[in-house]
Structure 1
Amino acid sequence: MKKHAAVISSKEMIQENICSMTLQTDEPLEARPGQFLHLLPPGEGRFILRRPISICEIEETECRIVFRLEGDGTKAVAKQNSGDKLDVLGPLGQGFPDIQSGTVLLIGGGVGVPPLLAAAEQLHKNGVRIQARIGFADQNQVMLVEEMEKWAETIVYTEDGSAGRKGRVTDELETDNGFDTYFACGPKPMLKAVEAKAPASGYVSLEERMGCGFGACYACVMEKEDGTLVKACLDGPVFQSREVLL
């Protein structure tokens, strides 16, 4: 774990409430797909807790994050502009495994899509065949489709049918035998449905509230199937399917 004074090199609102931001760090992050950064929102002492944000794209000393403006903290981060600095810890957590062969299905919902983009690029470099199902509430939430299509055979879903196919990413998943494993990230109801329907085992990345981000505060404790406890920030956020109780 390292602390960085990251400089914002670019910022764009890619949807009304979705911010894409590229950060430049003083040294390579050495991050893996599925890991996250812990950002301290600017505000002259107004904010005590950092905000965990998944890494969307990684390249040496530059990384991209894409996040939804949900509260005062993320809104404060999104108000920053190119040239401003952010106090960043990371990379943190356990990422997705480095799959080297076969076919991987990426299943993302909403802001669960960004970390899967980093995974897609790495899987492509490994020569893995990649399929992607990415879902959103409506056309006003759709993002990163063109980027995902660079690496994966991609299907877009919206719940109201305003973009792509009408439905959810888990529709007909139980009859899909065209993949060897899956990476999934999104809200818990979606992850529960994936675990229940997918014919193969896989990996899930959890969106949990966190405090410290490195396992000291026990704010993100979760229970495993065997009753033992794990910390989403330290032992996750990526877990094997059915490893933790959702």
Structure 2
Amino acid sequence: MKDEKARVLSNVPIARDVWKLDLETDMACEPGQFVEVKCGGLFLRRPISVCEARNGVLTLIYKVVGRGTDWMSGLEQGQKVDVFGSLGTGFPTGQAGGFFETACCPVGNEEQQPESVLLIGGGVGVPPLVMTARKLQEQGIRVQAVLGFNSAVDVFGLDLFAGLGIEPVIATMDGTVGTKGTVLDAIDAAGLDADVVMSCGPLPMLRAVCARYENGYVSLESRMACGLGACMGCVVKTPDGSQLRVCKDGPVFRIGEVVL
């Protein structure tokens, strides 16, 4: 974890209100983690999930929704950005990350890894699934992906998955691309199945995923002040009534671990 000034390599729009920012930095990140970006003179940093981190380039894909992300969209090549990270607990994608010690593994067979994983992303929940896919493939796990958007103008990231040899199944709410409806509609239409699911996206989508699947993980979005677990501003409840912090204990949780 470190705080550094990263140089902007590129910052371009890739869909409606969605931008892709490449930063020159050797910051190490794991799938599902995030960084905190200082946005001009605004007091609070903005948490942005990591899309990819390799070969000295940190890729962030973000949606312009307020003052902070609007400031980010104005960044130009060569500028320096204050980035703090990497933060949070991400998706388990290898033995070192605890993948073989979770509910994904049959009881009494902790050395067995799943043969297949289905990645389910919605909107700006798609970016962290890119590095997740790559890391899973490096473990020899077969990866499928289904991505949901509102409309054709909101679709992005297909090129990033294509670079991994993955052709995602697409759902749009208005039916302008792929299956009309939700990601679950697209899963049913394509007949997709896997040993484990990993999902990131809007809360209604995550609730639907958790209602259908038992084996897997969901990554939550939350307003965060510190990003370090100190301020307790992003807590979620567990089934037994205790609390976990999205920024520190998450943002990735096992299905059933927290109440959505």
TM-score by length of 1: 0.93
Asked if the contact 1:138–1:158 (Cα under 8 Å) also holds between the matched residues in 2, the reply is yes
Q: 1:177 to 1:80 in 2, by over 3 A?
A: closer
Separation in structure 2 between the aligned mates of residue 30 and residue 106 of structure 1, nearest angstrom: 22
Q: Which of 86, 89, 93 is equivalent to 1:91? A: 86
Listed as ranges, the matches of 1:1-246 within 5 Å are 1-25=1-25, 28-42=26-40, 45=41, 47-99=42-94, 101-151=114-164, 152-171=166-185, 178-198=193-213, 200-246=214-260
Q: 1:172 to 1:133 in 2, by over 3 A?
A: closer
Separation in structure 2 between the aligned mates of residue 78 and residue 55 of structure 1, nearest angstrom: 16
Give the number of equivalent residue pairs. 240
Separation in structure 2 between the aligned mates of residue 29 and residue 87 of structure 1, nearest angstrom: 12
CA offsets 1:207-230 (integer angstroms, 9 cap, x no match): 111001001111101111111111
Separation in structure 2 between the aligned mates of residue 172 and residue 122 of structure 1, nearest angstrom: 24
Separation in structure 1 between the aligned mates of residue 133 and residue 186 of structure 2, nearest angstrom: 22
Separation in structure 1 between the aligned mates of residue 207 and residue 114 of structure 2, nearest angstrom: 26
Separation in structure 2 between the aligned mates of residue 174 and residue 140 of structure 1, nearest angstrom: 24
Asked if the contact 1:29–1:60 (Cα under 8 Å) also holds between the matched residues in 2, the reply is no
The root-mean-square deviation of aligned C-alpha atoms, in Å, is: 1.6
Asked if the contact 2:146–2:186 (Cα under 8 Å) also holds between the matched residues in 1, the reply is no
Residue aligned with 2:168, SS? strand
TM-score by length of 2: 0.88
CA offsets 1:88-126 (integer angstroms, 9 cap, x no match): 110000010024541000000000001101111111222
Separation in structure 1 between the aligned mates of residue 19 and residue 187 of structure 2, nearest angstrom: 30
Residue aligned with 1:98, SS? coil
Give me the identity figure in percent. Answer: 42
Residue aligned with 1:243, SS? coil
Asked if the contact 2:51–2:131 (Cα under 8 Å) also holds between the matched residues in 1, the reply is yes
Separation in structure 2 between the aligned mates of residue 153 and residue 104 of structure 1, nearest angstrom: 14
User: What is the one-letter code of the residue matched to 1:183?
Assistant: M
Separation in structure 2 between the aligned mates of residue 60 and residue 94 of structure 1, nearest angstrom: 22
Residue aligned with 1:97, SS? coil
Separation in structure 2 between the aligned mates of residue 145 and residue 174 of structure 1, nearest angstrom: 20
Residue aligned with 1:171, SS? helix
Residue aligned with 1:146, SS? helix
Residue aligned with 1:21, SS? strand
**4+ residue runs of structure 1 moved beyond 3 angstroms?**
172-177
Separation in structure 2 between the aligned mates of residue 206 and residue 94 of structure 1, nearest angstrom: 11
Q: 1:51 to 1:118 in 2, by over 3 A?
A: same
Asked if the contact 2:29–2:86 (Cα under 8 Å) also holds between the matched residues in 1, the reply is yes
Separation in structure 1 between the aligned mates of residue 232 and residue 46 of structure 2, nearest angstrom: 15
Separation in structure 2 between the aligned mates of residue 118 and residue 56 of structure 1, nearest angstrom: 6
Deviation at 1:23, TM superposition (A): 0.6
What are the ranges of 5 or more consecutive residues in structure 2 without an aligned counterpart?
A: 95-112
Separation in structure 1 between the aligned mates of residue 75 and residue 130 of structure 2, nearest angstrom: 24
Separation in structure 2 between the aligned mates of residue 149 and residue 101 of structure 1, nearest angstrom: 22
Deviation at 1:16, TM superposition (A): 3.2
